[in-house]
Structure 1
Amino acid sequence: MKEHIRQRLFEQMGSSIAMPDRPRPIARKQARPAQATSAILVIDDEPSCLEFTTTVLQSNGYNILAAQSVAEGKALLQANPGVTLIITDLKMPREDGFSLLAYLRDTFRFSHIPTIVLTCCTDQNIILRAIGLGAREYLIKPFTADLLLTRVRRLYDKTKGNILLITDNEQTVVILKRTLIGDGFRVSAACADAEIRELLTREPFDVAVCELILEDRTGLDLLIGVRDDGYFLPFLFIADSLIKLSDEDIRSAGGFGLVKKPFNNNDVLRAVTAAITRSRHT
């Protein structure tokens, strides 16, 4: 990294953060775990529906984990870090699909996993409640194999890329998640070291979108720490327009580029797409 770029950034920040001699790493150097096999978790207490759903998906090449209760589904989810999509019935005894959606929403490890809900009910209030809890798609029972595959492929196969969003600004999280998820990207947000470390060891990311100025350090310091730990994903930085660093400055310091606030959605999407394209061809 060009040290003078880092020095210029600290000078612009004034005394808000003391410049360390050496950026701290995210974690101690450790071997990266083997990549878990991706899987779809299907939860339904009706044996016939569970069998139909799993058979259709398995016959089309998907790896399936099946559960007949929310409790069993949670156990499979916790034991299988490769789960990338959940299909769950809403009406089940004891814990129902709504409680599962709330659990996923409130559990950091699983909040990024998209969910399809199954229901016999055509009441729009029920469906809207599920969507409000985070469901991405729904299917009314009985459904056809073609309709099931269409919903699954929409979420499972068409993801444009996996984004690690690093920011301590809640408004930035909301804006960028809306922009990126709406365009077909998966987004996991974090800020604390423990959260970033868990995400990096749990799943592969195509690009990190990172605040240039965080509460207790700079994004450039974070970039050094992440790379010291052996993770070489591109870092695309975001910063206030008052920061007097250019896109070329950031590139010379080891980053992929810089997007200034206030955000233009098209600029963000172009920059992220370019970073992912580079990461997949290097």
Structure 2
Amino acid sequence: MNKSIFITGCSTGIGLDVALGLKARGYQVFASARKPSDVLRLKELGLQACQLDLDDSESIQQGVEWLLEQTDNSLYALFNNGAYGQPGAVEDLSREVLRQQFETNLFGWLELTNLLIPVMRRQGHGRIIQNSSVLGLITMKYRGAYNASKFALEGLTDTLRQELHGSGIHVSLIEPGPITSDFRKNAYAKFKENINTLGSAHQATYEVVEKRLAAQPDSRKKDPFTLGPEAVLKRVIHALEAKRPKARYYVTFPTYLFAYLRRLLSANMLDVVLRKVSEGENK
């Protein structure tokens, strides 16, 4: 096949599974991660890998230079995946905390993508795949920062797709719901780091949120709505190989359900449903 793809956020979960799955399928996979220890582990798994910090423009530039050296200034596809979730009520988010969320989940993706679009334009083809979320379609309480970053990503990606029409570059969004990963563990670390719970109007709820985030999942209890990262891999493969890839790929039943309810219900009725979901989650 000899098609090259650059993937961000490959330390665990979706990024790692997609990188390994595409390598097994014959793609020339270039993986990246923020921590040097994760880069070393990726190399031990047989992947070509580099360190890339989406919060750092110099790191992004160095990553692109390394990538294009490996590919002789060509690239078939980019899969933007590296992201995290910052829990906390909107009124407890500082400007700096929200900025950090956008630096990783949006601004870094924009910078990386814009450095690689000229490569794809020169060759007359390419695929850009953005890993969004069901929380780019609907919102959930205490996830305002993450919701906002994914809603912004959706708008930016839809615009980019329109602007690249006719260039030979196809742009797709992946919309996962709950997927097995370290997302919750990383979210808990950010909650502890950035949210001051004492004296907050949401302090009582935070105590429940903290217990939920800190709890280790019981491997004996299978959540029927949570899928493994291989479910995302399946959609990525279609976005890479279809003659006319979809603009959006839904993954997991909750994503299909909430996308349907968003079209069916009024804003007030959808709020009622989403509040009940959050309340059930945080009992």
Larger Rg over CA atoms: 1
TM-score class normalised by the smaller sequence: under 0.3
Give 1 or 2: higher helix fraction. Answer: 2
Give 1 or 2: higher strand fraction. Answer: 1
TM-score by length of 2: 0.24
TM-score by length of 1: 0.25
